[in-house]
Structure 1
């Protein structure tokens, strides 16, 4: 059963819930649909394992999944039309006030209750058609550690100050935590009460930094989308970029670089721009970084000029061009050119071909033309 995927089905487990509630009386207050949603997650995990898409499921500690989900409108109701309102959990007899205002509201469909860092949260999904306002311009972006976001217009968005201040608080809280007795399961030693208290304080500081970073990235990406319907970025392998360094002298330097990359949120920027551009009716196009090499390519003549990380100014190596520009601004301009479909039909051409394309359909046509040209050269 464990290796072949044979055993009781999801329907058979759902039929056992009435008897389960008689033994585990603390679950009797929750509705059947809520418990069935948890069983559905377990069944989904096993299916992924037998398909080779994940590891074998194991029992989770309560800190890993401390909550439940209402998969339909039964047992709960959102008494709100967007701004504030109340959340009613009828099976528990609770009526909780909601804070804040939803940007787009619709028909509530599911509700998930979860526990994080000493507080309870409710995540409500609604069926709606979100829309955003956008402009008719195009822009390219380049992500970095010194300047978080660099735009092709020359504007640079620096890393916010709260990240540096937050690291200081995390360092102090971590030092206090190390002075307390930690738990050790092998030696059957429980963590002291002071250790648990300091652990909560550290988690609280880290959660605040994460929320501040997410809020800042939402504001930055929303401003970019509000004025541009076409945005050019670059493909980044964040997991590979933040991989731990091997044993050597530069291990601490690599750890600091990884921290700077994660502070800016390289992986989150692309996701935010993708869905926000789609809501506004625009496009977010990522250029192939390894092939295009935007940090080395000239935005004027398309010539490659090798640089090291210490070279912060782009000086084109082509004597007929001599273009000089800030390294990050030049890379952002290259990404914008690629997104607009102004990339050359072959990378060894002298000048980029000029078209008036601005849609994904035209961009796809240009790429197919480029592939056909490369195939004909190889033949």
Structure 2
């Protein structure tokens, strides 16, 4: 899966370089459809891309087009080349190339030319799967699946107000107070300590062809996992409010 993630990253960089050089050298603007029509010839030159699926490759090319659209509309900066650790994964925009063998509670995810992968997790409401995004976060793989469904939520005749504060995670209008998790402050202290250790270790330098030391890679992985833990804790308020 890491190999596939790098292939999609290289395709993203190739499309970005193609657009950049065509405009700088010849003044030509390349559209999404221009690059999409090149994909068959691209796969003939690099056969390893045939296993990834046509729709997944088209979705990666679409990401490049979307990045340029955001830039031209003033919503973001100029698209940049991404390293392998900053490229999260790839997307299946349709039902081709993957299949979710689950009813919303655990199950298996089947990817074409890759095999079955066991899934853990439970969806609030399950339905007919439509798209799937494979995401890599420090130490774990995630599958973000969108479904067509008819959500059934418990309703009541009353109403309640929620206040997201700093001293309390959630304060309800009926007087209920939900305390914030204390994990966040402790984790930030650990990140500061590990960041100091990271600066003392040999970092990679691609221009000088210097590889990172094993201790530097180990410390960076620890920091990445802590950042992931903080992201999960930040969702605490929204999970609690959805339950209320």
TM-score, normalised relative to structure 1: 0.53
1:44 to 66, 70, 73: 66
1:11 to 33, 41, 59: 33
Whether the 8 Å contact between 1:66 and 1:115 is mirrored in structure 2 is yes
State the Cα distance separating 1:83 from its structure 2 match: 1.9
Residue of structure 2 in register with 1:55 after alignment: 77
State the Cα distance separating 1:6 from its structure 2 match: 4.9
State the Cα distance separating 1:186 from its structure 2 match: 6.9
Partners in 1 of 2:243 and 2:134 — Cα distance?
31
Partners in 2 of 1:79 and 1:174 — Cα distance?
41
Q: CA RMSD in A?
A: 2.4
Higher helix fraction (1 or 2): 2
1:89 to 106, 111, 114: 111
Partners in 2 of 1:218 and 1:51 — Cα distance?
31
State the Cα distance separating 1:187 from its structure 2 match: 6.3
Aligned-partner SS, 2:161 = strand
Residue of structure 2 in register with 1:106 after alignment: 127
State the Cα distance separating 1:125 from its structure 2 match: 0.9
Unmatched segments (≥5 aa) in structure 1:
225-379
2:150 to 97, 108, 129: 129
Cα distance change, pair 222–49 in 1 and its aligned pair in 2 (3 A): closer
Aligned-partner SS, 1:78 = strand
Aligned-partner SS, 1:123 = strand
Whether the 8 Å contact between 1:111 and 1:123 is mirrored in structure 2 is yes
Whether the 8 Å contact between 1:65 and 1:114 is mirrored in structure 2 is no
Aligned-partner SS, 1:138 = coil
Runs of 4+ more than 6 Å apart: none
State the Cα distance separating 1:127 from its structure 2 match: 1.0
Cα distance change, pair 10–204 in 1 and its aligned pair in 2 (3 A): same
Partners in 2 of 1:195 and 1:63 — Cα distance?
15
Q: Which has the higher contact order (CA 8 A, sep 6+)?
A: 1
The structure with more radius of gyration: 1
Number of residues paired by the alignment?
A: 220
Partners in 1 of 2:73 and 2:164 — Cα distance?
37
State the Cα distance separating 1:185 from its structure 2 match: 5.8
Unmatched segments (≥5 aa) in structure 2:
1-22
TM-score, normalised relative to structure 2: 0.79
Residue of structure 1 in register with 2:242 after alignment: 222
Whether the 8 Å contact between 2:170 and 2:237 is mirrored in structure 1 is no
Partners in 1 of 2:28 and 2:69 — Cα distance?
11
How big is each residue's C-alpha offset from its partner over 1:126-156, in whole Å with a ceiling of 9 and x where there is no partner? Answer: 1112231132222333332222222222332
State the Cα distance separating 1:190 from its structure 2 match: 4.0
